[in-house]
Amino acid sequence: MRLDLESRSFGPRQVLGRLALSVARGERLAILGPSGIGKSTLLRILSGLDRDYRGRREGQETLAMVFQEPVLLPWRDAVANIAIPAGCAAAQARDWLARVGLAGHEAKFPRQLSLGQQRRLALARAFAVAPDILLMDEPFTSLDAETGARMLALTDALLSGSGAGLVLVTHDPAEAAALGARALHLGGQPARLQND
């Protein structure tokens, strides 16, 4: 998929300037930059959630999103939290739960899971869509170091296994390195991409 962005403004304030970005299956990109620079806005434009920009976005790839917070349905159990949004069968959802290490938690509601488990559930939900490109918005924040590292390794393994591409938004270059993602820096006012 490819994005040719001219600009994205909120009111009078232009947040993102002219930039071009393309990503394909199997390719891993990381967008780095300080908080508030517009990384999440860029990801929302890529995902199609934000259509209020000037520019062109093309590509027929299947996308899946992992948000900064797990964003689960609190009133549905773990299996339904995968099966309903991803539109897959319950058996497949169980399979994905097992693959992210949540076997035995199928009938639990999100608030009965720890934050680390909720994030793994959100990851399983994204992979259940069988995406060509996975979009992740700071998915490892507010996890302790050990849980964060396990989550990174799990993400890496699932990406390799499925062959999906990745666009990761983060402020931590170590996360990009751990996933072997090409780092792009977002900086300036309005923000543009700077290659390493």
Partner 1 sequence: MTQAPKPPALRPGLVPGVLSILAMLLVWTLASQLTDRPQTLPAPWHVAARIARLAQTGELWFNAGMTLFRVAASFALAMAAGMALGLWMGRSRAADRWLNPATIILLNVPALVVVVLCYIWIGLNETGAILAVALNKIPVTTVMLREGARALRPDLDDMARAFRMRPALRLRHVVLPQLAPHIAAAARAGISLIWKIVLVVEFLGRSNGVGFKIHLLFSSFDVEGVLAWALAFVAVMLAIDLFLLRPWERRANRWRQDAA
Interface positions with partner 1 (CB under 8 A): 47-49, 63-65, 67, 69, 71, 73-76, 80, 84-87, 108-109, 111-112, 125, 129
Closer Cβ to partner 1, 48 or 180, answer by number: 48
Closer Cβ to partner 1, 34 or 48, answer by number: 48
Closer Cβ to partner 1, 50 or 173, answer by number: 50
Closer Cβ to partner 1, 3 or 183, answer by number: 3
Q: Give the three-state DSSP class for 170.
A: strand
Q: Name 144's Cβ contacts closer than 8 Å, sequence gap at least 6.
A: none
Closer Cβ to partner 1, 11 or 74, answer by number: 74
Q: Give the three-state DSSP class for 162.
A: helix
Q: Hey, what's the torsion of the CAs at 11, 12, 13, 14, to 10 degrees?
A: 90
**Minimum distance, C-beta of residue 104 to partner 1, in the bound complex (Å):** 9
- Quick one: which of 123, 128, 127, 125 has its CA closest to 140? 123
**Minimum distance, C-beta of residue 71 to partner 1, in the bound complex (Å):** 4
**DSSP code at position 191:** B
**Minimum distance, C-beta of residue 167 to partner 1, in the bound complex (Å):** 13
Closer Cβ to partner 1, 55 or 109, answer by number: 109
Structure tokens at 157: 């393994």
**Minimum distance, C-beta of residue 188 to partner 1, in the bound complex (Å):** 27
**Minimum distance, C-beta of residue 109 to partner 1, in the bound complex (Å):** 4
Distance (Å, rounded) from C-alpha 144 to C-alpha 128? 26
**Minimum distance, C-beta of residue 195 to partner 1, in the bound complex (Å):** 28
First-to-last alpha carbon distance for the chain, in angstroms, is: 21
Buried residues in 85-103 as b, exposed as e (16+ CB within 10 A): bbebeeeebbebbebbebe
